[in-house]
Amino acid sequence: MTWNPDSWRARPAAHQPTWPDQTELERVEKELAAVPPLVFAGEARDLKAKLARVAQGEAFLLQAGDCAESFDGFSADAIREKLRVILQMAVVLTYSSGVPAIKVGRIAGQFAKPRSKPTETVDGTELPSFLGHMVNDLPFSARDRRPEPARLLQAYNQSASTLNLLRAFTKGGFADLHRVQAWNQEFVASSAEGQRYRALAAEIDRALRFMESTGVSSQHPEIHEAEFFTSHEALILQYEEALTRKDSLTDEWYDCSAHMLWIGERTRQLDGAHVEFLRGVRNPVGCKVGPTATPDEIVGICERLNPEREPGRLTLISRMGAGAVADGLPPLLEAVRDAGHPVVWTCDPMHGNTFTSETGHKTRHFDDVLAEVTGFFAAHRQAGTWPGGIHVELTGDDVTECLGGADQLQAEDLGRRYETMCDPRLNARQGLDLAFRVAELVDPNHVPVELP
Ligand code: PEP
Ligand code: CO
């Protein structure tokens, strides 16, 4: 089957906006096709090699960030706080479980959302649903909800400056392990998780000082710099196609809008446009796996997206819901295992556990998040496969969007700081708490997986 960056156009593409101005869309596509890539093919290959270690049971994937990034809340502070909590979580996972955590943000491109309904009706007025800032705007007015191609350019520009700042923070000293104490934000430090983190960070400090005092250099780049990768759902395929470039080194196609791209639960049709597009780029790719997925479907996805069975190429992101994971996941793990596909399995404990609180807020309960992660680990223990990571929606800010956690957030607290553009996110304390709980679930005596 031949593949081209535009071969998806011959397939049905689910969850696409109806762009009112096609001429303008084509003009923007041309402009995007000429801009510099955001990431380089070599970086995507580097991530793929790291994910191959996850597939082998030698590392853990921490993928985290906003449900939807916003054009409005764009600031250096917000990026830094998000990075900070992800660095903290990765340190907790790595130090407590002894397994290195690979850090991938839902960031610098996560601007498009599939929605349950294409339109929304309020008081008899029907308008297109909000599909993320890459497409339209949130306020309920005809002007705001109109899909505007110029937003694709704004998404590119915001991604470029976000990525620039992330590179500066991770390589320029902010992420130096010697600063592990300083990552603890004030509103986190005062909490039980924050104190638990402080104790762990003190141990790391002591270990670094010990190394230095024995003359072992702690000047390795690994100690001074963090490796951090970007990812988003590849939903708006005109954007992804325009940023797809041929790598001059290997002559292969890479989607240079992010290091890793994934296919959402609503767009994973085997013969659909999204699977067609991602099968041809050489980046590491992901696919969400919800409770309706059948073993045949998922093995079909593996065959289509990773026919060469390259470890690290494909990550399956299970999002069953706390109530469905125990029965739903094991048959899929077994089918993929028996088909000999070397995938990374990770757990998104957010999207199967969303409900509307009595205050009308879309929310999730921390206990459900934890229950799904626990069920995910149990299913892997049963199948003899490696629970390779977590995929979560979070922010570094002190928001009140998810219930429960050590603070015991209640429905009446949700209105206090409910700021998400789309789905409810864990706040920094809940994120850190989750990292400690997950680290406890990782089996320190696990044996590496034998890949086919
Ligand atoms: C998401 O990751 O924000 C999302 C929409 O997830 P899913 O495709 O699993 O529903
Ligand atoms: Co979401």
Residues 389-419 pLDDT 10s? 999 999 999 999 999 998 899 999 999 999 9
- Mutation choice for ligand 1 from 67, 320, 422, CB with most ligand atoms inside 8 A: 67
Mean pLDDT (whole number) for 144-151: 98
Q: Could you tell me the residue ranges of all domains in the chain?
A: 7-121+147-175+225-441
pLDDT at residue 96 greater than cutoff 70: yes
Q: What is the pLDDT of residues 58-94, one digit of tens each?
A: 999 999 999 999 999 899 999 999 999 999 999 999 9
Q: What is the pLDDT of residues 206-254, one digit of tens each?
A: 998 988 899 887 678 888 899 999 999 999 999 999 999 999 999 999 9
Residue 106 Cα: closest atom of ligand 1: 2
Integer CA distances (angstroms), 132 to 13, 155, 190, 191, 231, in order: 17, 10, 35, 33, 16
Nearest CA, atom 9, ligand 1: 265
pTM of the model: 0.97
Predicted confidence at residue 217, as pLDDT, reads: 74
Residue 142: which pLDDT band, with cuts at 50, 70 and 90? very high
Q: What is the pLDDT of residues 351-389, one digit of tens each?
A: 999 999 999 999 999 999 999 999 999 999 999 999 999
Q: Which residues line ligand 1 (CB under 6 A)?
A: 67, 114, 233, 264-266, 288, 319, 351, 423
Q: What is the pLDDT of residues 302-346, one digit of tens each?
A: 999 999 999 999 999 999 999 999 999 999 999 999 999 999 999
Residue 265 Cα: closest atom of ligand 1: 8
Distance 118 CA to ligand 2 centre (A): 16
Residue 190: which pLDDT band, with cuts at 50, 70 and 90? confident
Residue 319 Cα: closest atom of ligand 1: 9
Of the candidate CATH numbers 1.10.150.650, 1.10.569.10, 3.20.20.70, 3.40.50.11140, the domain formed by 7-121+147-175+225-441 belongs to: 3.20.20.70
Tell me what percent of the residues of the chain surpass a pLDDT of 90: 88
Predicted confidence at residue 221, as pLDDT, reads: 84
Distance 224 CA to ligand 1 centre (A): 34
Q: What is the pLDDT of residues 25-49, one digit of tens each?
A: 999 999 999 999 999 999 999 999 9
Distance 310 CA to ligand 1 centre (A): 25
1 against 341, higher pLDDT: 341
Predicted confidence at residue 452, as pLDDT, reads: 63
Mean pLDDT (whole number) for 151-175: 97
pLDDT at residue 445 greater than cutoff 80: no
Predicted confidence at residue 280, as pLDDT, reads: 98
Nearest CA, atom 3, ligand 1: 67
Distance 65 CA to ligand 2 centre (A): 10
Predicted confidence at residue 216, as pLDDT, reads: 81
Average pLDDT of the residues of the chain: 95
